[in-house]
Amino acid sequence: MSTSGGSKRNFDIKEEDHNNDIPQGPLPGLKRHDSLDIESSRFPDHHDRHNTEGNWRAIVKLAFQSIGVVYGDIGTSPLYVYASTFFNGIKHEDDILGVLSIIFYTITLIPVIKYIMIVLHANDNGDGGTFALYSKLCRYAKVGLIPSEQVEDQEVSNFRLELPNKTNKIASKIKKSLESRNFAKFLLLFAAMLGTSMVIGDGILTPSISVLSAVSGLKKATSTITEGSIVVISVVILMTLFMVQRFGTDKVGYTFAPIICVWFSLIVGVGVYNFFKFDPSVAKSINPKYIIDYFKRNKKDAWISLGGIVLSITGTEAMFADVGHFTVKSIQISMGCVVYPALITAYSGQASWLRKHKDEVVDTFYNSVPDGLYWPVFVAAVMAAIIASQAIISGTFSIIKQSLSLGCFPRVQIVHTSTKYEGQVFIPEMNYLLMIGCVLVTVTFKTTEKIGHAYGIAVIFAETLTSSFMVVIMLVIWKTNILLVILYVLMISTTEYIYLSSVLYKFSQGGYLPFLFAIALVFIMCTWNYVYRAKYNYEINHKVSQEVIKDMIMDMNISRMRGLAIFYSELAHGIPPIFKHYVDNVPALHSVIVFVSIKSLPISKVPTEERFLFRRVKPNELYVFRCVVRYGYTDMRNENESFEKILIKRLKDSIESNYGVLEEQGRTVEEDVATLEKASRTGIVHLVGEHEIVSRKGSSIGKRFLIDYAYNFMKKNLRKSYNVFEIPQKRMLKVGMTYEL
């Protein structure tokens, strides 16, 4: 683990009291320095980046990149929406107007009004996704289930929310109800996990169907190509796409953005051409009367056809999930100025063409393209369809990064791929798992028709969960007028649930696939979170008391060694039991001991000056300190300076800031600093707990399965904590201890 140096701010060292619980902040009146530097200090502030009013050049640049990353999925929907909607053919001429009207109002209502105008503003200091909404609720109301929460966390500037200066009885009642009921707390966490799992599951389905549908277009170019060849080519393209993810969203966006821009230009051109050539009167579909007539004529078939129309907004959730890679304004600009008008024009042009060619609905898109533009459009369509998977892949990385900070996902490596924008990340483990999943789905189902039954269900389900969180946020945090909240539910939530009911109609025909993915992911996340909380509570219940520490210090049988020992633990509320276990088996103590707790907060970024919290445990012969190092889920680490050097530097600054306390104890700052420097020069050893987690005797079968088998399997096959934190291997000692939970 590493960190960069720079400006300083110090947190004081306070004598450990009897409770030995919480690291304290600076004492009033003590000397402080300016600001404590952290690993992400060389990067622009994420929150500030999302509020750069005057930096339009950077915003437009990000808007251009977002076209290549965010909109591939929704941008290629004109390829198959009409064919999927009219699966039984067009029975009445005005059915075309009814479907076009539904498409127009659906795109306007969900992507534009819901996401662009409302949901994007609920970002968590610039980051989006289900967990971003959940973290906002956790910070405002006491509904979080993170066991390492401390009072000091609420003093972090980013932890506090900008709240409207008004009171609301409904908001107070809902907040009190959520805080007082454990069921509500678990339900919110489960909903966040389920929403995340649905998006990850869609990260497997979307690349599979996008690439397979693109390559299947080769059948029109040559009749000799076989289904097996199409599958092989699709697998090769999928593997290549996932392999280039390590280069980062920044490079991928610049590579793909021009292609998607060409695609949008072509579908707009074709749409305008067809609109004026065949039937400009389709413009009257803006009248919602045609929607009512469509349902009156077709009844159940009209409801089932919504499963095809919903494909016009598949990938919309990526706008919110990917906002951390870009900015709110850049997403709004690209959607409002490019994507929305292009999609409406394309669908209107196809509807105009269908009014004269009702019998050719099976291949509406390609048949509606003028002969002279067929090959350019085909090539652009193939490339754009391949790019469509990029949106969900980058969105998946973002939401996994957030879930890690809440202890809801196993440890994985987070690679930051941009030195300019800290939200752009790559997760190697998940990248490989997504690639394997996509390849298996493609090889197993082989055709887009078979995958199509499941396509879109995961995203629609995630959108309904997002709406549910938004209703709570509007009521509790934003204190929105109840009439506006009711309007949101009636217009947006109701629309989404109607679409969800339609796609679930095909559950037995393949719609179960995203739910299988979601069940597996929710099980992994729930298991990890359950054991994470149980392990933390075990450490709290078995932490080393003040009396035991005194006995250790006074025990003449315990040898004294020169040097500095750094104990790593997740416990932020005292001395971990692993310390006593270590001393019992190795009766020796270093001259300086620092207990370090690496802690993630449910916020996107911890300000640089609020990173470290120090506290002195016992100011006698031994120098024993506790340090809580706090990170947000977008904070980075660089490799310019080791973590131990920064830790020693900050500890030294903290000692210097407490000259008044030291003088009262008859010591000088110089003596304490000299002791610290001498210990660090003598040698630094990193001690990491290697815990064996087992269930207690007499535990239920379910508990034994979760802990002894499921959790331990994940733990053995994923990254260890010292790999995540990059602790020097040559100076690391692993201390084994068994936790019976």
Residue range 696-721, pLDDT digits in tens: 888 899 889 999 888 888 887 766 55
Q: What mean pLDDT, rounded, does the chain reach?
A: 79
Token reading at 88? 């039984």
pLDDT interval class at 604 (50, 70, 90): confident
Computed from CA positions of residues 340, 342, 347, 351, in that sequence, does the dihedral angle turn out positive or negative? positive
The whole-number pLDDT of residue 597 equals 86
Question: 532: exposed, middle or buried (C-beta count within 10 Å: 0-12, 13-18, 19+)?
Answer: buried
In the block, tokens 């009072």 appear at 151
Which has more pLDDT, 619 or 669?
A: 669
pLDDT interval class at 71 (50, 70, 90): confident
The whole-number pLDDT of residue 374 equals 82
Name residues whose C-beta falls within 8 Å of residue 379's C-beta, 6 or more positions apart in sequence: none
**Buried-state track 183-192, b at ≥16 Cβ within 10 A, e below 16:** eebeebbebb
What span, in angstroms and rounded, lies between the C-alpha atoms of 59 and 56?
Answer: 5
pLDDT digits over 505-542, tens only?
878 777 788 888 888 888 998 998 888 888 888 888 88
Altogether, the residues listed in the chain come to a count of: 741
- What's the rounded mean pLDDT across residues 551-573? 84
Looking at residue 410, its amino acid is P
Residue 55 parent element (H or E): none
Q: What is the DSSP string of 645-657?
A: HHHHHHHHHHHHT
pLDDT digits over 161-199, tens only?
666 766 678 888 888 888 888 888 889 888 888 888 887
Cβ–Cβ < 8 Å for 519, 527: no
Computed from CA positions of residues 451, 452, 457, 459, in that sequence, does the dihedral angle turn out positive or negative? positive
Cβ–Cβ < 8 Å for 690, 736: yes
Q: How far apart are the first and last CA of the chain?
A: 29
pLDDT digits over 680-694, tens only?
888 888 888 888 888
- What's the rounded mean pLDDT across residues 96-120? 95
pLDDT interval class at 664 (50, 70, 90): low
The whole-number pLDDT of residue 657 equals 77
Q: Is the pLDDT of residue 324 over 70?
A: yes
Which has more pLDDT, 709 or 663?
A: 709
Least confident of 1-15, 60-74, 519-533, 627-641: 1-15
Least confident of 124-133, 577-586, 731-740: 124-133
The whole-number pLDDT of residue 118 equals 93
- What's the rounded mean pLDDT across residues 124-143? 81
Q: In percent, how much of the chain has pLDDT > 70?
A: 81
The whole-number pLDDT of residue 273 equals 95
Q: In percent, how much of the chain has pLDDT > 90?
A: 17
SS3 of 643, please?
helix
What span, in angstroms and rounded, lies between the C-alpha atoms of 576 and 739?
Answer: 12
- According to DSSP, the residues that pair with 737 across neighbouring strands are 691
Least confident of 90-94, 134-138, 617-621: 617-621
Q: Is the pLDDT of residue 593 over 70?
A: yes
What span, in angstroms and rounded, lies between the C-alpha atoms of 274 and 269?
Answer: 9
Least confident of 13-17, 148-152, 582-586: 13-17
Q: Is the pLDDT of residue 420 over 60?
A: no
Q: Considering only CA atoms, which of 305, 281, 279 is closest in space to residue 291? A: 305
pLDDT interval class at 637 (50, 70, 90): low
Q: Is the pLDDT of residue 101 over 90?
A: yes
pLDDT digits over 440-476, tens only?
888 888 776 667 667 778 778 888 999 999 999 999 8
Q: Is the pLDDT of residue 739 over 50?
A: yes
The whole-number pLDDT of residue 489 equals 94
The values of phi and psi at residue 43, to 5°, are -105, 150
What span, in angstroms and rounded, lies between the C-alpha atoms of 457 and 466?
Answer: 14
pLDDT interval class at 24 (50, 70, 90): very low
The whole-number pLDDT of residue 425 equals 67
Q: Considering only CA atoms, which of 291, 322, 286, 297 is closest in space to residue 309? A: 291
**Buried-state track 440-464, b at ≥16 Cβ within 10 A, e below 16:** ebbeebbebebbbbbbbbbbbbbbb
Q: Is the pLDDT of residue 407 over 80?
A: no
Cβ–Cβ < 8 Å for 209, 234: no
The whole-number pLDDT of residue 76 equals 85
Which of 106-115, 245-254, 326-335, 423-432 has maximum average pLDDT? 106-115
Q: Is the pLDDT of residue 61 over 70?
A: yes
SS3 of 368, please?
coil
Cβ–Cβ < 8 Å for 604, 125: yes
pLDDT interval class at 285 (50, 70, 90): very high
The whole-number pLDDT of residue 83 equals 83
The whole-number pLDDT of residue 49 equals 44
The whole-number pLDDT of residue 252 equals 61
The whole-number pLDDT of residue 650 equals 86
Name residues whose C-beta falls within 8 Å of residue 604's C-beta, 6 or more positions apart in sequence: 46, 47, 124, 125, 126, 127, 132, 158, 324, 632, 633, 634
The whole-number pLDDT of residue 614 equals 85
Q: Considering only CA atoms, which of 451, 433, 432, 437 is closest in space to residue 212? A: 451
